[in-house]
């Protein structure tokens, strides 16, 4: 049966954008960029230090956030329903990375699923399960990827290839430098190394703080030039690698969804933080949502593929006049 197109004027929108997603008719915001009284955080990378009144997220996400010493935040376990006023809420795994989650909200007259970014492929070596799904009336999803050609290999295969490269590089006497896009990605990669008997490593100082906050099984060891250890570092801070590391024999690898082309690195491993186009569209269909709001870099591509029931939502974008 063909889906009925959602009329933009038939009823108030279920969600609106004002520096974050607001669930209309509720006090609840999602991944808001500026202070709100109540804000759900899908992953620690999405909000920064916004000074929100009360944060809702998983234990790992709350631990990773800079809350400015403010207490009273709600660290909710996955798959355990709770209430906020008259709304019934539940967190489910989004698959994005350590601590990441999606939020299911039952307002009584409609169900809304706010997903942030989702990844449909598990990373068992790092303890990350595939993104869960719920049926809903309204879906909000962040499309990191979604253009034609945005397809990725199985993560279990990529993890195995990454570990094999690290072991081969160490055996050659070189120091493997694994460069990642974010703290969340770094935690995931470092945990995968640790669970393959590679617990001793050097890490970016911000990543080291995150490791301590969530209790990841990573051991930072004293530097020994003659005894190479893996290094996990933010790619944006690559120039800040300590001189003591840069002055030793090393090999670099980009570990990212961007690694399909890895010029400037010795190796690349396509380890994406979110689902590719086909997987994301399939996940969206499984929610049976009648209306879909899409945010993120590939929002236009995904909304176009979904048709009339989907629309792009997010910050205003500059109009191209020529």
When the pLDDT of each residue in the chain is averaged and rounded to a whole number, the result is 89
Query: What are the residue ranges of helices labelled H in the chain?
Result: 59-64, 155-171, 183-194, 205-214, 243-246, 277-286, 299-306
- Residue 219's pLDDT band, with cuts at 50, 70 and 90, is confident
pLDDT at 5 over 50: no
Contact assessment for residue 85 and residue 64, using Cβ atoms and an 8 Å cutoff: no
Calculate mean pLDDT across residues 212-234. 86
pLDDT at 265 over 50: yes
pLDDT at 148 over 70: yes
Contact assessment for residue 147 and residue 281, using Cβ atoms and an 8 Å cutoff: no
Centroid of chain to Cα 110: 26
State the CATH number of the domain containing residue 185: 3.40.50.12650
- Hey, what are 207's tokens? 């990543």
Residues 113 and 252 reside in one and the same domain: no
Report the pLDDT value the prediction gives residue 17, as an integer from 0 to 100: 93
Residues 164 and 224 reside in one and the same domain: yes
- Residue 256's pLDDT band, with cuts at 50, 70 and 90, is very high
Q: Tell me how far apart the alpha carbons of residues 81 and 287 are, in angstroms, rounded to a whole number.
A: 19
Residues 278 and 238 reside in one and the same domain: no
Residues 134 and 282 reside in one and the same domain: yes
Does residue 9 fall inside a structural domain? no
Range(s) of the domain holding residue 186: 155-270
pLDDT at 257 over 70: yes
272-306 pLDDT, tens digit per residue, is: 999 999 999 999 999 999 999 999 999 999 999 99
Residues 61 and 90 reside in one and the same domain: yes
52-88 pLDDT, tens digit per residue, is: 788 999 999 998 886 655 567 889 999 999 998 899 9
Report the pLDDT value the prediction gives residue 226, as an integer from 0 to 100: 80
Does residue 288 fall inside a structural domain? yes
Please tell me whether the overall predicted TM-score, pTM, comes out greater than 0.85 for this model.
yes
Residues 257 and 306 reside in one and the same domain: no
Calculate mean pLDDT across residues 100-118. 95
Residues 69 and 171 reside in one and the same domain: no
Calculate mean pLDDT across residues 15-36. 90
State the CATH number of the domain containing residue 36: 3.60.15.10
Question: Could you tell me how many helices (H) and strands (E) the chain has, helices first?
Answer: 7, 19
Residues 49 and 100 reside in one and the same domain: yes
- Residue 255's pLDDT band, with cuts at 50, 70 and 90, is very high
For 82-125, the DSSP string reads: EEETTEEEEEEE--SSTT-EEEEEE-SS-EEEEEEE---S-BGG
Residues 262 and 279 reside in one and the same domain: no
163-192 pLDDT, tens digit per residue, is: 999 999 999 999 999 999 999 999 999 999
Residues 224 and 279 reside in one and the same domain: no
- In the chain, the percentage of residues whose pLDDT exceeds 70 is 92
Report the pLDDT value the prediction gives residue 183, as an integer from 0 to 100: 93
pLDDT at 243 over 70: yes
Q: 27-41, 75-89, 213-227 — which is least confidently predicted?
A: 213-227
**Residue, of 260 and 259, whose pLDDT is higher:** 259
How many domains does the chain fold into? 2
Does residue 159 fall inside a structural domain? yes
Residues 162 and 239 reside in one and the same domain: yes
Residues 235 and 303 reside in one and the same domain: no
Residue 10: exposure state from Cβ atoms within 10 A (0-12, 13-18, ≥19): exposed
**Residue, of 33 and 75, whose pLDDT is higher:** 75
**Residue, of 53 and 270, whose pLDDT is higher:** 270
């Amino acid at each position: 049966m063909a889906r009925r197109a959602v009329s933009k004027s038939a009823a108030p929108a279920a969600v609106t954008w004002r520096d974050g997603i607001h669930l209309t008719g509720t006090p609840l915001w999602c991944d808001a960029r500026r202070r709100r009284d109540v804000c759900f955080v899908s992953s620690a990378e999405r909000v920064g230090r916004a000074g929100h009144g009360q944060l809702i997220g998983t234990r790992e996400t709350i631990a990773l956030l800079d809350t400015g010493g403010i207490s009273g935040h709600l660290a909710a376990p996955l798959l355990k329903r709770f209430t906020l006023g008259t709304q019934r809420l539940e967190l489910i795994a989004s698959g994005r990375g350590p601590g990441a989650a999606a939020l299911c909200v039952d307002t009584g007259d409609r169900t809304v699923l706010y997903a942030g970014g989702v990844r449909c492929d598990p990373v068992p070596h790092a303890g990350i399960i595939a993104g869960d799904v719920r049926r809903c009336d309204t879906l909000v999803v962040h499309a990191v990827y979604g253009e034609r050609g945005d397809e990725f290999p199985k993560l279990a295969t990529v993890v195995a290839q990454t570990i094999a490269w690290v072991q081969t590089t160490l055996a050659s006497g070189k120091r493997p430098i694994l460069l990642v896009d974010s703290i969340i990605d770094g935690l995931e990669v470092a945990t995968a190394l640790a669970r393959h008997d590679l617990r001793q490593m050097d890490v970016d100082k911000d990543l080291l703080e995150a490791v301590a906050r969530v209790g990841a099984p990573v051991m930072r060891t004293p530097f020994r030039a003659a005894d190479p250890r893996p290094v996990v570092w933010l790619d944006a801070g690559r120039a800040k690698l300590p001189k003591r590391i840069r002055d030793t024999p090393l090999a670099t690898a980009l570990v990212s969804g961007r690694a399909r082309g890895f010029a400037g690195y010795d190796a690349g491993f396509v380890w994406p933080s979110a689902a590719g186009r086909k997987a994301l569209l399939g996940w969206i269909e499984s929610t049976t949502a009648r209306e879909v709001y899409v945010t993120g870099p590939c929002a236009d591509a995904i909304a176009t593929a979904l048709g009339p029931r989907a629309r792009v939502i997010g910050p205003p974008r500059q109009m191209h006049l020529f």
